[in-house]
Structure 1
C-alpha cells in the first residue's frame, strides 16, 4: 500500500465534501480506522477496505492505492522451495551429454507431474520439480523440440509460485514461459496466469491493461472458434473483470463478464482443452467468477444466492475453481454470522486440498473473523486455526 494512502484519502474525502463520519457511514469502514489512516497512525489497510472507501468516494481503487500486494510467503516457505528457486535460475548442464535428457523422457515426466499441480500436491512437487526444471533447461539447450515443453513447465511453475505467494519467483518463471511460447494460445495462457499474479500483487491497472490487450488480440470468430480459443479468450475476460471489480469499475467488470459468458455459452459445457486444467472453462467457471465479483463488491447475500444455483460439488477439488469459490461462500456465511455453515465449508476444502488451505491468506482472514467473534471455539475451529497458522 502506498505510504501516501492516508493523504490521498483525506484529500479526496474533502473534495467530495464529506466528513470522516459521513465517509464511515457511506463506506461501512469504521470511523476509528479512517482517522488512523488519515493521521498516519496506520500506513496500510486491506485491499477490500480500500475498495469500500473508493466506492463511497466514487473513484477507482487505484486512485487511493498505488500497490497492495498480498502478504508474501514466510521465510519457512521460501526455504522449503529454495531448490526450485535455484533450479529456475541455474544454467543448462552440458558436461555429461551421455546422460542428457530426451524429449520423450521430459515429456513423460512432465505429464506425470501435471496431476501434482492440479491437485495441489505441494510436498511432492517440492521434491520432484527441481530435477525436472534442470532437465527441461538442458534439453532445450541441445534440442529445440524441448522449447514448448520448457514453456509449459515454466508456466506451471509460475502458477505454483503464485499459489504459494512466492511472487518474485513466479514473475521470473512466467516471463521465461512467455518468451518460450511457440504459439498465440500458449502465450495467452501464460498471460492469463501473469494477470492473476498482478492481481495478487495489487497491480490492478496493470492486470486490467494486460488482460484487455491480450483479450483483444486473441478474440476468436465465434462461428468457428475452437474450444482452446474460446477458453483462452474467456479466461482473459474473467481476469479483466476481476481487476475491474477490485478497481471499483463495476460497469467494466460486468461487460467483461458478459463477454466471458458468451464464450461459455458457445462452448456449452465445462471444457478442458488439451487436458490442461489451467484452461478449464465453461458456464460453471463463469458462474463461479460472478460469485467472486459479488463477494469483492461486499454482497454476501448475493453470493449465497448465486452459490445455491452452482453445482460446485460436481467439480473436482481444485484451487483453480472450486476451492476459491468455497472460500467466497465461507466468507459470505461469516459476514451473515452463520459460523457453523462457514466452518462446514472449510472442512470440505480441508478434506479435498489439505496442502492448499494453509497457503491462503484469504482463508486466514476469514477464520480470524470467525475466531474474533466467538467466545468459545469448537474443536473444528481450533483445528482449522492451527492449519492456517492463525496467530494466537
Structure 2
C-alpha cells in the first residue's frame, strides 16, 4: 500500500473528510488532496507527523520507506567491493600499528566533515583493515564501523548494512557492540523505520543500563547515547511520553558524566549535557515548538561542540528552522551561511537545509546574490 492509499484509508476509518483533516492537522487541503491522489508520493516528515497525530496513528504507519541507497559512482562501488573482500589483498601485509594510525586519521576526516577525502581513502584503508588477523578484531571492527558512518551519510544503505554486519561480527566487547547498534539505529532512522529504531534502541538501552551512582564514564556515555536515539525516534513517532522518559534518563547520565565525551568504543559520537540539550531542542522542533527551540538554544554554549561536529551542525539547522517558522528569515539565512562556511560538505548532503532555504526563497520576490549562490551550492530545486 502506497502513501495515497494509506492516508485515504486511515482518514476514512477515522470518519474525517479531507477538509476535516486539514483543519485538525494544520496541513493545507491542497497538499492532502495531492497526497491522496498520488500527485505527491512523499512529503516531509514533519507533515507526516502532523497528519499522523490528527489521525491518531504513529508516524511510521504513514511513512513510505525509501529503497536502500544505490551505488551511483565508482567511489561507492569500490568501498562496497572492499567490504566484500573483492579488492584483493595488499602486496605488503600491513602492521597493526600502521593501520591503527590510518584509522585514527580517517576518523578525524569524518568528524571534520571532509567526506570526499575520506571516500577516496576508504577502499585502500578497508583492504588493509580486513587483511589483519583475528588478533586485531577490535581494529578491524573500528575501521569497518567508520565506513558504515560514511555510507549512511551518503545514503548508500545496502553497503552500510554490509559494513555494520562485519563490524558487529568483529566487535570485541559489549560497549563496541552497543556503539554499532547505535549506528544501526541511525541507519533505520534514515530509512524511515521509526518503530524499528525505537524497538532496537530501547532494547539495547535496557541491556546496558548501569547503576548511575557507580557507573563508569563509558557506561554512562553508551547508555545515554542509546537513550537519545529512543527519545528522538519516539518523538518523531508521536510517542511523547516515551520520548520524555528517555530524555529524562539521558539527562541523569549526562549530569553524572558532567562533560561532552566520546568513549574509546565510539570515538565518532560525543555524549554529555550539551548532547542532551540539543536533542531536546530537536524534539521541540519535531513537535513544532520553535519558540522553545530558540529559548533553549540561547542557553547552549557554542564551546560545547567539536568545531565541525555533525551534532552541532544539526542543532544549528534546528535553530535556523525555528527562526524560519517564526518569520525571522534573515536570521535563518545567516545560520545557513554559517554552517556552509564551517561544513560545506556536510550541508550539501542535508535535505533539511534545502527545505529551509526553499521556504525562505518562497517568501521573497527577489533573491540576493548570496541566496542564489547558496541555492546553487546545496542543489535547491527550481
The question of a shared fold, defined as TM-score above 0.5 by the shorter chain, is answered with yes
Q: Confirm or deny: 8 A CA contact 2:27 2:47 kept in the other structure.
A: yes
Match of 2:80 in 1: 85
CA distance in 2, matches of 1:172, 1:312: 36
CA distance in 1, matches of 2:40, 2:283: 27
Match of 1:357 in 2: 347
CA distance in 2, matches of 1:173, 1:109: 18
SS of equivalent to 1:306: helix
Match runs of 1:365-376 below 5 Å: 365-376=355-366
Q: Confirm or deny: 8 A CA contact 1:116 1:124 kept in the other structure.
A: yes
CA distance in 2, matches of 1:70, 1:46: 17
SS of equivalent to 1:202: coil
Q: TM-score, normalised by structure 1?
A: 0.92
Match of 1:102 in 2: 95
Q: CA RMSD in A?
A: 2.0
Match of 1:389 in 2: 379
Match of 2:65 in 1: 68
1:72-121 Cα shifts (integer Å, max 9, x gaps) = 5794xx4443322222222474585xx21111111121122221111011
1:237-278 Cα shifts (integer Å, max 9, x gaps) = 111111111111111111111111111111112222239542
CA distance in 2, matches of 1:251, 1:272: 28
Match of 1:17 in 2: 15
CA distance in 1, matches of 2:108, 2:77: 22
Q: Confirm or deny: 8 A CA contact 1:91 1:137 kept in the other structure.
A: no
CA distance in 2, matches of 1:338, 1:68: 33
1:316-345 Cα shifts (integer Å, max 9, x gaps) = 233431000001111111111211111111
1:353 to 1:40, Cα distance in 2 relative to 1, 3 A: closer
Choose the corresponding residue for 2:46, options 36, 48, 51: 48
Match of 2:122 in 1: 129
Match of 2:260 in 1: 270
Runs (5+) with no aligned partner, structure 1: none
CA distance in 2, matches of 1:304, 1:360: 21
Q: Confirm or deny: 8 A CA contact 1:92 1:138 kept in the other structure.
A: no
Match of 2:237 in 1: 247
CA distance in 1, matches of 2:276, 2:125: 34
SS of equivalent to 2:47: helix
C-alpha displacement of 1:38? 2.4
CA distance in 1, matches of 2:119, 2:150: 10
C-alpha displacement of 1:368? 1.3
